[in-house]
């Protein structure tokens, strides 16, 4: 489990194509400072398992084909900056919200509107997850726990907006995500559980 509070802006240093997967090498001195084989590290919001920890402050992780197909990691290349977060410790503060590192879908940055103290970013909201997103609720964008400021609809479909403070702009990949950039989206898992629990049980009349 993660909290969506990015600890470090890392960099992809190598990418190896395997038979049905790819192996990424990611440099991140902070997240590897206490990492070991088998640990979990979120890379742009995708929970990956550490294969090896290298002496230069990098780690390797295998990314399965399904993950590549369902996330924006397929578009990450050598030199790309990525958001990194270690799995939450039992005694840590939950600064964001409950994040599983299981990407639900990929959205796309539509526009950016600068302001004096923050920047409003509009992101396309795929219909497959729109019912789980509410104003003032939580959503994870490329591993960053954010609050939905606004929901809306255009001729092109639904969207949501987030307001990014200077710290988020400076310390995560969202600071440079221009219009057209794909971003990993994970909705609040609690909303999915509530939907499941309140769904009518067909044939029994129970709810």
Domain count, the chain: 2
Q: What is the pLDDT of residue 203?
A: 46
145 with 190, same domain: the answer is yes
pLDDT(141) > 70: yes
Picking from 194, 182, 184, the residue whose alpha carbon sits closest to that of residue 144 is 184
Average pLDDT over all residues of the chain = 92
Kindly provide the residue ranges of all beta strands, DSSP E only, lying in 56-198, ordered along the sequence. 58-64, 81-86, 105-114, 119-124, 138-141, 144-147, 150-154, 157-164, 182-187
Kindly provide the residue ranges of all beta strands, DSSP E only, lying in 8-118, ordered along the sequence. 8-17, 21-27, 40-43, 46-53, 58-64, 81-86, 105-114
- Cβ 68 vs Cβ 22: under 8 Å: yes
Asked if the structure places residue 61 within a domain, the reply is: yes
26 with 77, same domain: the answer is yes
Confidence tier at 121 by pLDDT (50, 70, 90)? very high
DSSP code of residue 173: G
Picking from 124, 122, 127, the residue whose alpha carbon sits closest to that of residue 107 is 124
- Token pair, residue 44, equals 């742009």
Picking from 151, 143, 138, the residue whose alpha carbon sits closest to that of residue 192 is 138
120 with 68, same domain: the answer is no
pLDDT(117) > 90: no
141 or 203: which leads in pLDDT: 141
pLDDT(36) > 70: yes
Q: What is the CATH number of the domain that holds 182?
A: 2.40.30.20
Any alpha helices (H) in the chain, and if so which ranges? Answer: 65-70, 166-171, 189-198
In the sheet where 150-154 sits, what is the strand order?
A: 144-147, 138-141, 182-187, 105-114, 119-124, 157-164, 150-154
Residue numbers of the domain that contains 17: 8-86
In the three-class reduction of DSSP (H, G, I as helix; E, B as strand; rest coil), residue 162 is classed as strand
Residues 159-205: pLDDT tens digits?
Answer: 999 999 999 999 999 999 999 999 999 999 999 999 989 886 554 55
Q: Where is the domain boundary, 86, 119, 137?
A: 86
CA–CA separation, 152 and 159 (whole Å): 5
Confidence tier at 94 by pLDDT (50, 70, 90)? confident
Q: Which sign, positive or negative, has the C-alpha torsion 104, 77, 160, 145?
A: positive
Residues 8-33: pLDDT tens digits?
Answer: 999 999 999 988 899 999 999 999 99
110 with 73, same domain: the answer is no
Q: What is the pLDDT of residue 200?
A: 60
């Amino acid at each position: 489990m993660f909290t969506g509070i990015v600890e470090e802006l890392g960099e992809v240093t190598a990418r190896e194509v395997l038979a049905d997967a790819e192996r990424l090498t990611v440099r991140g001195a902070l997240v590897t400072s206490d990492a070991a084989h088998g640990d979990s590290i979120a890379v742009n919001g995708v929970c990956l398992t550490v294969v090896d920890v290298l002496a230069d402050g990098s780690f390797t992780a295998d990314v399965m084909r399904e993950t590549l197909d369902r996330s924006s990691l397929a578009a990450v290349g050598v030199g790309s900056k990525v958001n990194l977060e270690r799995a939450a410790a039992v005694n840590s503060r939950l600064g964001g919200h409950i994040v599983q590192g299981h990407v639900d879908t990929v959205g796309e940055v539509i526009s950016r509107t600068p302001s004096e103290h923050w920047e409003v970013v509009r992101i396309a909201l795929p219909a497959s997850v729109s019912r789980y997103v509410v104003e003032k609720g939580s959503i994870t964008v490329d591993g960053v726990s954010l609050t939905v400021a606004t929901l809306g609809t255009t001729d092109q479909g639904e969207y949501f907006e987030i307001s990014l403070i200077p710290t988020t702009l400076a310390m995560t990949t969202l600071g440079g995500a221009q219009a057209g950039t794909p971003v990993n989206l994970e909705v609040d898992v609690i909303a999915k559980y509530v939907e499941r629990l309140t769904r009518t049980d067909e044939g029994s009349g129970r709810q």
